Amino acid sequence: MIRFTSPPDASDLPARFPSPFDRAAVHPLARRAAMETMDLLQLPAMAPWRLDQPGNGKMFGVLVVAASDGTVGYLRGFSGMVAGTWTIEGWAPPTYDGAARDAVWIPGEAELYDLGTDDDARTARSRELLPAIQETYRFTNAWGEVRALRDLFAPKEPPGGAGDCAAPKLLAQAYAQGLRPLALAEFWWGAPPRTGDRRAGSFYPACQGKCPPILAHMLRGVPAEPPPLFGAAAIAEREPAVVYEDEHLVVVNKPCGLLSVPGRSGLLRDSVSTRLRARYPDATGQLVVHRLDLDTSGLLLAAKDTTTFSALQRLFSRREIAKRYVAWLDGHVQDDEGVIDFPMRMDIDDRPRQIHDPVAGKAAVTTWQVLTRADGRTKVAFTPHTGRTHQLRVHASNPIGLDAPIVGDRLYGRVAPEYGERLLLHAESLAFTHPVTGVELRVTSPVPF
């Protein structure tokens, strides 16, 4: 256990373990431990790790812990490997059994080497080896219960790299040393990944692809906050307000915090779609024609009948509906206008985050214009020409975009959003030809920030 540079008081300790999946819940003690670790990573002794080189940045983590005598300190860890090795003194070790893994991997690696440049054969053999390697991972919780990796993900297959994140390593080390977990923080350090979706010094929640079943088990017996359920906040019944309506369609002003359509899990039913269905019981087919992110406010278009719905969808597919968004960005954008054009896809290991992928991504194009600059922030107007999930948020935050995330962005922002500060992104206008009447419509909604 590493001692803090100045011992914390009992009043500094968290009452409950903050959820690792809540980016806004980085406890002050965990933040202190992270800052001390960042200071360490900047020392000349860390230069051989070459974290500042392209592709070498890494997710690190700290776990605040208490010993049986009440002493409080923290543990340090990193995801995967650093400088070509799994184990480094002073850092949390891997969660696999080393001898068992070597018994599988050492001969397996030799087989892969013998296959030479036959990529198909190497890939097939790697897939065969993976389950055997995964069987060497074991996870303990505060009650001493031990579960195997594949058991935790059953009946599904565990994703590659499951169990290698910093969080499970740190919890495993705490239990092995008889320490009580108090708070966790994970942060990126070094060069950004090739996808451009991580920033040095920024905190991030535990990933959604690899960590939920592992951490749910490892935190059993620890008084912990539940994972955040975004979209469950109470929204006034009068919302969403109608901005334009006729016998064929309706345009509403969606508030921040209300889903466009019900959540996939079935836990979140409240949405613009369900509310409009209650208001217009005679409407046929689907209502909501497109979607806005939960955290985005502004204009949303809905149809009252299946014919209009299909016609509006055709307008969207032909890019004949012009949309304009306004946002405040966390940073100074030097140019006055421009075009962002790079492909994106879902990050399958950390849904719902989206990442830049020049190979497997789909085209995403946005034009933008600066409206004003003030206090280190930039207000911009966005016009998306494609409709990728989180397109504007990624185009704003990515280094090959504007390199300035939208203020309040809990997924792509530089730091955890301030409590109470919403995502400052608003769908300000929609312009299109009415598919039934042929009238040119332009609907606007005042920007609320």
* CA separation for the pair 148, 150 (Å, rounded): 6
For the residues of 353-393, what is the DSSP string, one character each?
Answer: -EEE-TTTPBP-EEEEEEEEEETTEEEEEEEESS--TTHHH
User: What is the token pair recorded at 145?
Assistant: 């219960």
List of E strands, 33-179? 58-66, 72-78, 138-140, 146-148
Beta bridge partners of 298: 254, 427
* Cα angle 371, 376, 380; round to 5: 20
Q: Are 395 and 365 in contact (CB under 8 A)?
A: no
Give one word for 150, left, alpha or beta, with left for phi > 0 and alpha for psi -120 to 50: alpha
Helices (H), 57-118: 98-114
Q: Are 399 and 192 in contact (CB under 8 A)?
A: yes
C-alpha distances out from residue 69 to 54, 66, 73, 143, 173, Å: 44, 8, 12, 19, 18
Give one word for 426, left, alpha or beta, with left for phi > 0 and alpha for psi -120 to 50: beta
293 is catalytic: yes
For the residues of 154-216, what is the DSSP string, one character each?
Answer: TTSPPPTTTT-SHHHHHHHHHHHTTPEEEEEEEEEESSPPTT----TT-EEPPPTTTSHHHHH
Q: Determine which one of 164, 197, 293, 330 is catalytic.
A: 293
Beta bridge partners of 64: 74, 183
Beta bridge partners of 300: 252
* CA separation for the pair 154, 205 (Å, rounded): 23
Mind telling me the catalytic residues? 293
